[in-house]
Amino acid sequence: MEEITRALVDLLGPGAVITDPVRLRTYECDGLTHHRATPGVVVLPESAEQVAAVVRLCVAAGVPYVARGSGTGLSGGALPRTDGVLIVTARMRRILEIDIANRRAVVEPGVINLDVTRAVRSEGYYFAPDPSSQQICSVGGNVAENSGGAHCLKYGFTAHHVLACEVVTPDGEIVTLTDGPGYDLLGAFVGAEGTLGITTKITVRLTRVPETVQTLLAAFESIEAGGVAVSAIIGAGVVPAAIEMMDALSIEAAEDAVACGYPPGAGAVLIVELDGPAAEVEHQFAEVERLCRDAGAFEIRIAADDAQRALIWKGRRSAFAAVGRISPAYLVQDGVIPRTALPEVLGRIDELSRQSGIKVANVFHAGDGNLHPLVLFDDAEPGAAERAEEVSGKILDLCIEHGGSITGEHGVGVDKSRYMPRMFTDIDLDTMQMVRCAFDPAGLCNPGKVFPTPRLCGEVPGVRKGVHPLVEQGKADLF
């Protein structure tokens, strides 16, 4: 590391290179704290050219590198390499261009998600992807993880709001990927979890602020009743901007944390938000209210203004971190199931929880079946972490069993790579790795993420040797 560190200091100056062991350790994990690795060296570049130069140094030295934005990821996607360089984009945070007429903005990767919205709100626009961490997560991180959020049911994921990315490729070249004709390389890049290169400039789509927003909070005695309401709303052809559900345990945590004042005694609360033209919203809102009551809602609160809406959302948005108040440690799970399987899967999770004695709090984007079970445990208790991990894994099995997925929006990262073979065959995984090798033949760009066993590209770190097994078998050609 010494040699490359010297070169990095020459390149970026001492103020942008961190080598002090005590300081390096503060970068040992992102938002997922049970995977830790102290980076070999941390750099804080301020331009695409600097990022490209750092990557070229890494490639020349055969040193792996990992990009990191605000460090809020929940799958360990930005977990550093002890033998590598951590490229932090936190100082690349300029909003370069706002083009309201064409509804687009160009931002650097370290720009905070919510800051894009703040910059264009007065013009009547916003940046639609809204992960719960939007106040701090970076747009570059959103691109890497293809982040969603509460409103992706209606508005889609980050991929639907990115028009172009300037990318430093794993060769250290600066290229621009667009959604123009030809292969959808932008589509491949967004959501690749930082394995295909590092984005240095992002052109995002700006969305018009809807004419009206209506939000209600409905309290039910049970999760099942809430689930019935969700199915009824979607079944009626309403596409809400968001439908979120929280169970009793997560309500308790949120209440403790931010005093959101949800109806006492609720077994579940449902937050339903509709937006769009006033006439349409009013009509559908009345219907949603009726459907909630039919499903057994014992209290319905309608936000009269933005302040009340913010209070309703406050509980939901703070839920993950708030669980820290009721449990010494927890795992945030992220899985997807068909909406129709909701009651059954929740019942099975409850069963798992009772059998194992490990509490599970449930928060989820109910509209698109994206579950976020929070598996609570006490890390001071011997074996508790392992049992929690087991319960967490079994929840993913339940998702796969019901035709769902092991991740909805947090990504695979390092945390879920081992579950990939449960969802995909070896051939599927090998094919995906072919794509990766096409971008990163040396296997130095965020290695060890997404795939369980990097069996191709000559392992990591190091330059690829030999023929790809799929090529050898005549199943694929490498161009």
Tell which one of 90, 188, 209, 400 touches another protein (CB under 8 A): 90
Tell which one of 179, 252, 256, 299 touches another protein (CB under 8 A): 256
Strand, helix or coil for residue 260: coil
Helices (H) and strands (E) in the chain, counts: 17, 19
Sign of CA dihedral 460, 335, 243, 287: positive
Pick the closer one to another protein by CB: 140 or 367: 140
Q: Which of 169, 98, 114, 102 is nearest to 147 (CA)?
A: 114
Q: How far is residue 94 from each of residues 62, 117, 427, measured CA to CA in Å?
A: 31, 14, 42
> Shortest approach of another protein to residue 206 CB, angstroms?
20
Query: Which x/- pattern, by CB under 8 A, does the window 328-357 give for another protein?
Result: x-x---------------------------
- Judged by CB under 8 A, does residue 307 bind another protein? no
Residue by residue, DSSP assigns 30-86 as: SS-TTS----SEEE---SHHHHHHHHHHHHHHT--EEEESSS--SS-TT---TTSEE
> Shortest approach of another protein to residue 404 CB, angstroms?
26
DSSP state of 423: H
- Judged by CB under 8 A, does residue 318 bind another protein? yes
DSSP state of 107: E
Dist. CA 112–CA 448, nearest whole Å: 26
> Shortest approach of another protein to residue 425 CB, angstroms?
35
> Shortest approach of another protein to residue 251 CB, angstroms?
14
Please state, as a whole number, how many other Cβ atoms lie within 10 Å of the Cβ of residue 396: 23
Q: How many CA atoms within 13 Å lie on the side-chain side of 30? A: 27
Q: Where in 21-80 is the site for another protein (CB under 8 A)? A: 22-23, 25-31, 33, 44, 70-72
Q: Where in 197-236 is the site for another protein (CB under 8 A)? A: none
- Judged by CB under 8 A, does residue 257 bind another protein? yes
Q: Cis link prior to 461 (omega < 30° from 0)?
A: yes
Tell which one of 9, 11, 136, 470 touches another protein (CB under 8 A): 136
- Judged by CB under 8 A, does residue 110 bind another protein? yes
Stretch that binds another protein, among 129-137, 265-273, 281-289, 402-410 (CB under 8 A): 129-137
Pick the closer one to another protein by CB: 1 or 258: 258
Pick the closer one to another protein by CB: 127 or 320: 320
Spatial CB neighbours of 178, under 8 Å, sequence gap ≥ 6: 163, 164, 186
Tell which one of 91, 339, 418, 455 touches another protein (CB under 8 A): 91
Q: Do residues 110 and 90 make contact, with C-beta atoms less than 8 angstroms apart? A: yes
Pick the closer one to another protein by CB: 2 or 20: 20
Dist. CA 351–CA 73, nearest whole Å: 29
- Judged by CB under 8 A, does residue 6 bind another protein? no
- Judged by CB under 8 A, does residue 322 bind another protein? yes
Q: Do residues 207 and 125 make contact, with C-beta atoms less than 8 angstroms apart? A: yes
> Shortest approach of another protein to residue 284 CB, angstroms?
32
Tell which one of 12, 209, 248, 321 touches another protein (CB under 8 A): 321
- Judged by CB under 8 A, does residue 392 bind another protein? no
Can you give the binding site for another protein, defined by CB under 8 A? Answer: 18, 20, 22-23, 25-31, 33, 44, 70-72, 88, 90-91, 93, 110, 112, 133, 135-137, 256-258, 318, 320-325, 328, 330
